[in-house]
Chains A and B, each alone.
Chain A
C-alpha cells in the first residue's frame, strides 16, 4: 500500500511565526492529499485538501503545496496563533473504482508559544 512519511514529528514556533510541515508519499497513483488537525482529546478534522491537478491551494492562513514529480506536499500556516496548537496529519489517497483507501502520516505536534 501507500507509504506516507511526515516531518517533523514535533514543531514549536512563536506566536505570529510561520509553521511548515512536510510529507512524502510513495504511490504515484495517489491523487488526493488532505490534511487533518486533531486537538487534544478530539477527533481529527479536515482543514484543507489538494488534488493532483493543482499545485497550490490557500485558505486564509493555511496553504498546501504539492509537487507530484517529487512526490511531496507541504502544509504552511502563517501568523500562527495559540489555537493552532494541535497534532496535524497528512494523508494520501488513490482513486480506484470502488476502493478509495486513505493512508496517513505519523503526525506533527505543533506548539505555538504565546
Chain B
C-alpha cells in the first residue's frame, strides 16, 4: 500500500517566518509534486521534482522553494511566509512515466 505522508495536518505560522513542509513517500517514486489547493482554483502546481536534486518550476513558484536531497523526501519551503500563502498544500508522488499519482493527506497552513 503506497504511503505519501506529509509532516503536519495543520500549521499556523506568523508572517515573515520561514516555513518547511515535508513530504515522504515509501514507494521509491522518481517524481514528486507540490500543489496548492484553493477553492475555485483547483490544484495549482508549485514545484515538481523528477529525481534527487532535480526540480522544475510549476505555475506558481513565486515565494516558494523546494529541496530534494533524498529520493523519498520532498520539502516545500516558504522563505518568508505571507498571509496570501494561507492555503491547503498537497504533496504527490508517482513513478517515472505516465502512471498514477498518489497524494498525501494535505497540510492546511494558516499564516497570521
Residues of A within 8 A of B (CB): 1, 6, 9, 31-32, 34, 43-46, 49, 51, 89, 93, 95, 98-107
Interface residue stretch chosen among B15-23, B44-52, B65-73: B44-52
Does B63 have its Cβ within 8 Å of any Cβ on chain A? Answer: no
| Residue of B whose beta carbon sits closest to that of A92 | B98
Does B43 have its Cβ within 8 Å of any Cβ on chain A? Answer: yes
A32 touches B98 (CB 8 A): yes
Q: A1-B58, A9-B40, A46-B101 are in contact. Are A100 and B96 (CB under 8 A)?
A: yes
B18 CB to closest chain A CB, in angstroms?
Answer: 26
A95 touches B90 (CB 8 A): no
Residues of B within 8 A of A (CB): 31, 33, 35, 40-45, 48, 50-51, 54, 56, 58-59, 90, 92, 94, 96-98, 100-101, 103-106
Complex Cα distance A102/B96, Å?
A: 11
Q: A46-B100, A51-B98 are in contact. Are A98 and B43 (CB under 8 A)?
A: no
| 7 nearest A-B pairs in the assembled complex, by CB-CB distance | A32-B98, A106-B42, A104-B43, A43-B103, A99-B50, A107-B42, A46-B100
A95 touches B98 (CB 8 A): yes
Complex Cα distance A51/B100, Å?
A: 12
30 sample A-B contacts, Cβ–Cβ < 8 Å, listed by A number: A1-B45, A1-B58, A6-B42, A9-B40, A31-B98, A34-B100, A34-B101, A43-B105, A44-B43, A44-B90, A45-B103, A46-B100, A49-B100, A89-B42, A89-B43, A93-B98, A95-B98, A98-B51, A98-B54, A98-B96, A99-B50, A100-B96, A101-B58, A102-B45, A102-B101, A104-B43, A104-B45, A105-B42, A106-B42, A107-B43
Q: Chain B residues near A6 (CB, 8 Å)?
A: 42
Q: Chain B residues near A51 (CB, 8 Å)?
A: 98
Q: Which of B90, B92, B101 has the most chain A CB atoms closer than 10 A to its own CB?
A: B101
Q: Chain B residues near A31 (CB, 8 Å)?
A: 98
15 more contacts with CB within 8 A, not counting A45-B103, A100-B96, are: A1-B58, A1-B59, A6-B42, A31-B98, A43-B90, A49-B100, A93-B98, A98-B50, A99-B31, A99-B56, A101-B45, A102-B33, A103-B59, A104-B44, A106-B40
